[in-house]
Amino acid sequence: MSEEFRVEKDSLGEVRVPAQALYGAQTQRAVENFPISGQPFGRAMIHALGVVKGAAARANGELGNLDGDIADAIAQAADEVAAGRWDGEFPVDVYQTGSGTSSNMNTNEVVATLANRLLDDDPGRVHPNDHVNFGQSSNDVIPTAIHVACRVSMVRDLIPGLEILQAALEAKSREFDDVVKSGRTHLMDATPVRLGQEFGGYAAQVAKGIGRVQRAADELAELALGGTATGTGINTHPEFASRAIALLGEMTELEFREADNHFEAQGARDAMVSAHGALNTVAASLLKVADDIRWLASGPTSGLSEITLPAVQPGSSIMPGKVNPVLAEALMMVSARVAGNHTTISVAGGRGNLELNVMMPVMAHTFLESVALLANGARAFAGKCITGIQANEERTRELLLKNPSIATALNLYIGYDRASEVAKQAAREGRSVRDVVLELGLMEEGQVDEALDVRDMTEPGFPGGKEG
């Protein structure tokens, strides 16, 4: 030994471990074996591993599988891990053994060391495998921890973030309800809409996304704990899983339940693929919203310029005064990343070889990354972009005045073919539909004004009060 290292042993022999590290030989081997990304699991996954180990120790204590003082020490140590006191003791790379065994053993070793300190610093009394991992296997602990981490993150982080964005969009929908503007389909002029209606549509997309995320999070309430190595439950008490999962529910204040079928719960990760599908859908929604905001704000002289975004930073290092839609672009990149993560999770989810999926760590990492990106992106977009948007009403009126598609309102008066001719002439000559109709003597002035009431065109019914 030296001041920098101590020697630990496992079934493969001796390993030099950093002298002050709480972890042991198996964690150190994993650190040396997987110098791949430099990315260990983050807070959400470490919290979940701590919670699972704490619940397991308490359940095993209740069942008499562990001495009471040992169970209590393990539970207290696991609580400290869950609380974030020892995150620096979890150095194992995400790209590791596909079962996540290295991270499970990392947790077992850290918790055992902490528990021994609590028990009068007896270094050998609590064993990582015999006590901390009692009645468990990496093969049921890791999928359990993944579901806990993802469900907690979705409910506690993502849904609140999306609710903030939904509220901001709904506020703008009300604020802009009287702003009538050109609608657009295929990026071409279409019949009038209200700016508030557009923002109301965005708010509805986010609201539906919240519902999808909630349903997806509920699917992750099913836990693999109790299946141990292959789903059979060997080496665990028949009541262990139900007791530990009930405790998990109390500790997280969320509902969890034991898997309906432990072979499905460990051999497949379909619930993760399905749940991330909801995240992918939210990403697609936010991509549409952010991109629309960019289009509506494009300009200020050569684009639509129907809205003005808050200026949060200079837009160019060479063009003075330029301001860009940076928050919208950031959210679009978030959406692209989540879409890429969905491919990763879909591929990894299909590697459930026989009784065990062997790509679980990367699934956990990418899923939790998607949750964090969407949650943070939604908050930033709402707070630094949406809430500061202003409508350029003079510009919307200017563009609407020359919109040839308002001739649609004339179909019931002069027929589709004649209305089409009017629209084409108005577009060709850069004139209003109203002027062309009056010039051609197709309708009386009062009737034209009634039929071309653009505010009336934004609601169901026949323009100008005409009966069908």
Q: Look at residues 134, 167, 185 and tell me which one is the last residue of a structural domain.
A: 134
Q: Are 173 and 316 found together in one domain?
A: yes
Q: Is 243 part of a structural domain of the chain?
A: no
**Cα(341)–Cα(364) distance, integer angstroms:** 11
Residue at which a domain ends, from 368, 393, 418: 393
Q: Give the span between the Cα atoms of 173 and 392, in whole angstroms.
A: 15
Assigned domain for 2 exists:
no
In angstroms, the CA 351 to CA 358 distance is 6
Specify if 263 maps to a domain. Answer: no
Is residue 314 in a domain?
yes
The residue from 11, 153, 276, 316 that is catalytic is 316
186 catalytically annotated:
yes
Rounded to 5 degrees, φ, ψ at 2 are: -135, 180
Residue 232 lies in a domain: no
**Do the Cβ atoms of 204 and 104 come closer than 8 Å?**
no
Residues 389 and 427 both lie in one domain: no
Q: Do 179 and 328 sit in the same domain of this protein?
A: yes
Answer for the pair 402, 426: CB distance below 8 angstroms, yes or no: yes
Query: Does 336 lie in the same domain as 197?
Result: yes
316 is catalytic: yes
**What is the Cα 144 distance to its own chain's centre?**
19
Decide the pairing of beta strands 390-391 and 307-308. antiparallel
Specify the CATH number for the domain of residue 385: 1.20.200.10
Give me the catalytic one of 2, 11, 186, 302.
Answer: 186
Q: Report if residue 149 sits inside a domain.
A: yes
The domain containing residue 359 runs over which residues?
140-219+268-393
Of 17, 9, 33, 44, the C-alpha closest to 101 is 33
Going residue by residue through the chain (468 aa), what tens digit of pLDDT does each one get? Answer: 457 999 998 889 999 999 999 999 999 999 999 999 999 999 999 999 999 999 999 999 999 999 999 999 999 999 999 999 999 999 999 999 999 999 999 999 999 999 999 998 777 899 999 999 999 999 999 999 999 999 999 999 999 999 999 999 999 999 999 999 999 999 999 999 999 999 999 999 999 999 999 999 999 999 999 999 999 999 999 999 999 999 999 999 999 999 999 999 999 999 999 999 999 999 999 999 999 999 999 999 999 999 999 999 988 888 888 889 999 999 999 999 999 999 999 999 998 889 999 999 999 999 999 999 999 999 999 999 999 999 999 999 999 999 999 999 999 999 999 999 999 999 999 999 999 999 999 999 999 999 999 999 999 988 777 665
Domain CATH for 449: 1.10.40.30
Quick one: 78 and 179 in the same domain?
A: no
How far apart CA 251 and CA 246 sit, in angstroms, is 9
104 in the same domain as 54: yes
Residue 21's pLDDT is what? Answer: 96
Structure tokens at 56: 């397991």
Same domain, 44 and 161: no
d(CA 51, CA 57): 10
The answer on 426 and 370 residing in a single domain is no
pLDDT at 422: 93
Q: Write the single-letter amino acid at 366.
A: T
What is d(CA 259, CA 264) in angstroms, rounded to the nearest whole number? Answer: 8
277 in a structural domain: yes
Residue after which a domain boundary falls, among 367, 393, 419 = 393
Q: So what's the pLDDT on residue 348?
A: 96
The total domain count for the chain is 3
- The whole-model pTM stands at 0.94
Residues 312 and 452 in one domain: no
Same domain, 174 and 291: yes
Q: Please report whether residue 32 resides in a domain.
A: yes
pLDDT, position 123: 74
pLDDT of residue 189: 94
CATH no. for residue 88? Answer: 1.10.275.10
**Same domain flag for 187 and 324:** yes
**Three-state secondary structure along the chain?**
CCCCEEEEEECCEEEEEECCCCCCHHHHHHHHHCCCCCCECCHHHHHHHHHHHHHHHHHHHHCCCCCHHHHHHHHHHHHHHHHCCCHHHCCCECCCCCCCHHHHHHHHHHHHHHHHHHCCCCCCCCCHHHHHCCCCCHHHHHHHHHHHHHHHHHHHHHHHHHHHHHHHHHHHHHHCCCCEEEEEECCEEEEEEEHHHHHHHHHHHHHHHHHHHHHHHHHCCEECCCCCCCCCCCCCCCCHHHHHHHHHHHHHCCCCEECCCHHHHHHCCHHHHHHHHHHHHHHHHHHHHHHHHHHHHCCCCCCCCCEECCCCCCCCCCCCCCCCCHHHHHHHHHHHHHHHHHHHHHHHHCCEECCEECCHHHHHHHHHHHHHHHHHHHHHHHHHCHHHCEECHHHHHHHHHCCHHHHHHHHHHHCHHHHHHHHHHHHHHCCCHHHHHHHHCCCCHHHHHHHCCCCHHHCCCCHHHCCC
16 touches 7 (CB < 8 A): yes
Do residue 87 and residue 182 come from a single domain?
no
**326-349 and 270-297 are packed helices; what angle lies between their axes, rounded to 10 degrees?**
160
Q: How far apart are CA 194 and CA 126, in angstroms?
A: 67
